[in-house]
């Protein structure tokens, strides 16, 4: 049950307001604010609220609630809006719900059950079914601007406003808890450059930062598993770790023909992408090192009913070596291939890049 939501109650009848506050308190809600006028309510809209409960008639203003709803609409506020009113004509009900701004319309004078119990049910249903599509769309619309300002950072967005900026998702969650904002109403996104789709990469063809491999373990010509074939994939990953950002596609032949991963999938217990990724990550950990995991991202895409894997590799801050049987090899990218260097070549390579002083 969502009881940490911030709720704004707009009600000018002090007796009924006390009834609302008492009922919400008994239900366990922890953050409820109340106002009695349109003016004060509009001021409160400058702050974030997960739920807004509004009466229609405020004092002598029979349309005060509609004024608030219109203000919410103009500001693109994504709070759950519930109308709680004694002025429960069908005309007003349709007006309140028209346009999708209001979540619910509850009559104070309902003849069956309790309006306040109904309010609690409406709040919970609204919170549990909340759709953050509006905030996600806002991020997409302003993506380039946000990326320029907050590249590499995590942002938390509520009602089209950035509430928290941090270096990790855990830091975002900790700060949201400190501010008393529940996670279920917040969109958390890491601002990082969008990766091109696998389909787009295939059309480009192999290059210095892009390489294709047909399989991970499955020998195409032999039509069986080959125990050492995965080293071909690992050497490319090591080369990208040492030379700079690059992407390896597994399931694509050199001529851009999509071979797919179905044969590789058959070699794992789960026969799916999860089993394939687990096996690949085990190879990376055993033969390259677990410290490089954060610089390696694995994703999948289905193209023409065939699975293809993309391994996106960033440049590591320390040199990476491939452990192959009893030896360790140092690979770099050379044109559109991965090349291992002997001791003299490695020394000169590091010297030229000021890695050795």
188 membership: H or E segment, kind and range? strand 187-190
Read off the CATH number of the domain in which 32 is found.
3.40.50.2300
* Number of domains into which the chain is organized: 3
Please give the mean pLDDT across all residues of the chain: 85
Give the Cα separation of 357 and 145 in Å (integer). 40
Question: Looking at the structure, do residues 205 and 317 belong to the same domain, yes or no?
Answer: yes
Are 206 and 319 contained in the same domain?
Answer: yes
205's CB contacts (< 8 A; 6+ apart) are: 256
- Same-domain pairing of 115 and 226: no
- Whether residues 158 and 237 share a domain: the answer is no
pLDDT of 59 reads 66
Residue 56: count other Cβ atoms within 10 Å of its Cβ. Answer: 27
Do both 241 and 327 map to the same domain? yes
Among 174, 190, 206, identify where a domain stops: 190
Q: pLDDT per residue over 121-153, tens digit each? A: 888 887 776 666 678 888 988 998 999 899 889
Query: In this structure, are 332 and 203 located in the same domain?
Result: yes
User: How far, in Å, CA of 151 to CA of 217, rounded?
Assistant: 37
Range of the domain at 290: 198-352
Which neighbouring-strand residues pair with 232? none
Q: Over 60: is that where the pLDDT of 117 sits?
A: yes
User: Same domain, yes or no, for 335 and 258?
Assistant: yes
What percent of the chain has a predicted confidence (pLDDT) above 70?
A: 87
Q: 49 pLDDT exceeds 90?
A: no
Alpha-carbon separation of residue 172 from 57, 166, 187 (angstroms): 40, 6, 11
DSSP secondary structure of 96-111: HHGGG-EEEEEETT-S
Least trusted range by pLDDT, from 83-97, 167-181, 240-254: 83-97
Q: Classify 30 as helix, strand or coil.
A: coil
Task: Provide the pLDDT for residue 91.
Answer: 64
CA distance 24 to 161: 27
The tokens for 47 are: 């702050």
Q: Identify whether residues 109 and 147 lie together within a single domain.
A: no
Residue 229 in this model has a pLDDT that exceeds 60: yes
Q: Tens digits of per-residue pLDDT, 194-223?
A: 788 999 999 999 999 999 999 999 999 999
At 237 the three-state DSSP class reads helix
Confidence label for 237 from pLDDT (cuts 50, 70 and 90): very high
**Same-domain status, 40 and 121:** yes
pLDDT of residue 97: 59
Q: Are residues 220 and 99 in the same domain?
A: no
184 has pLDDT over 70: no
The answer to the question of residue 211 being in a domain is: yes
Give the rounded percent of residues in the chain with a pLDDT score beyond 90.
37
Name the domain boundary from 128, 151, 166: 128
Overall size of the chain counted in residues: 357
Of 102, 128, 154, at which residue does a domain stop?
128
Q: Where are the alpha helices (DSSP H) in 208-252?
A: 230-243
Q: Is residue 328 part of a domain?
A: yes
Nearest to 250 by CA among 287, 290, 303, 208: 303
357 occurs within a structural domain: no
In a domain, 186, yes or no: yes
| pLDDT recorded at residue 277 | 94
> pLDDT tens for residues 268-317?
888 899 999 999 999 999 999 999 988 899 999 999 889 999 999 988 88
Q: Does residue 122 share a domain with residue 13?
A: yes
Q: Looking at the predicted structure, is the pLDDT value of residue 185 above 80?
A: no
Mean pLDDT of 249-253: 96
On whether residue 1 sits in a domain, the answer given is: no
Q: What is the pLDDT of residues 52-99, one digit of tens each?
A: 998 877 766 666 677 888 888 788 777 888 888 876 666 666 665 555
pLDDT at 340: 81
Asked, for residue 67, whether it belongs to a domain, the answer is yes
Work out the average pLDDT over 4-32: 89
Region 326-339 average pLDDT: 85
Longest distance between any two alpha carbons in the chain, whole Å: 90
Asked if residue 206 belongs to a domain, the reply is yes
pLDDT value at residue 262: 95
**Among 114-118, 200-204, 233-237, 339-343, which stretch is predicted with the lowest mean pLDDT?**
339-343
């Amino acid at each position: 049950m969502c009881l940490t939501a911030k709720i704004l109650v707009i009600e000018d009848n002090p007796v009924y307001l006390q009834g609302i506050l008492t009922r919400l308190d008994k239900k366990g809600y922890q953050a409820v604010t109340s106002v009695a006028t349109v003016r004060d309510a509009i001021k409160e809209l400058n702050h974030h609220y997960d739920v807004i409960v509004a009466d229609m008639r405020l004092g002598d203003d029979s349309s005060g609630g509609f004024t608030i709803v219109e203000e919410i609409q103009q500001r693109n506020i994504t709070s759950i809006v519930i109308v709680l009113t004694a002025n429960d004509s069908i005309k007003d009900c349709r007006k309140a719900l028209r346009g999708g701004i209001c979540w619910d319309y509850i009559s104070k004078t309902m003849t069956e059950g309790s309006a306040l119990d109904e309010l609690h049910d409406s709040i919970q249903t609204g919170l549990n079914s909340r759709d953050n599509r509006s905030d996600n769309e806002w991020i997409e619309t302003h993506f380039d601007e946000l990326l320029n300002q907050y590249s590499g950072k995590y942002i938390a967005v509520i009602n089209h406003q950035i509430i928290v900026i941090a270096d990790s998702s855990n830091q975002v969650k900790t700060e949201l808890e400190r501010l008393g904002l529940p996670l279920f109403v917040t969109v958390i996104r890491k601002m990082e450059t969008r990766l091109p789709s696998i389909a787009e990469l295939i059309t480009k063809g192999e290059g210095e930062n892009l390489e294709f491999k047909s399989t991970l373990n499955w020998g195409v010509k032999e039509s069986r598993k080959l125990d050492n074939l995965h080293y071909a994939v690992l050497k490319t990953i090591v080369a990208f770790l040492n030379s700079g950002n690059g992407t390896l596609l597994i399931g694509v032949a050199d001529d851009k023909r999509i071979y797919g991963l179905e044969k590789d999938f058959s070699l794992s217990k789960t026969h799916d992408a999860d089993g394939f990724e687990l096996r690949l990550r085990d190879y990376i950990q055993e033969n390259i090192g677990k410290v490089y995991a954060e610089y390696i991202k694995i994703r999948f895409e289905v193209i023409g009913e065939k699975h293809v894997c993309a391994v996106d590799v960033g440049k590591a801050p320390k040199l990476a070596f491939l452990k192959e049987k009893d030896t360790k090899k140092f690979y770099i990218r050379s044109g559109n291939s991965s090349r291992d260097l002997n001791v003299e070549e490695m020394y000169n390579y590091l010297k030229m890049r000021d890695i050795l002083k």
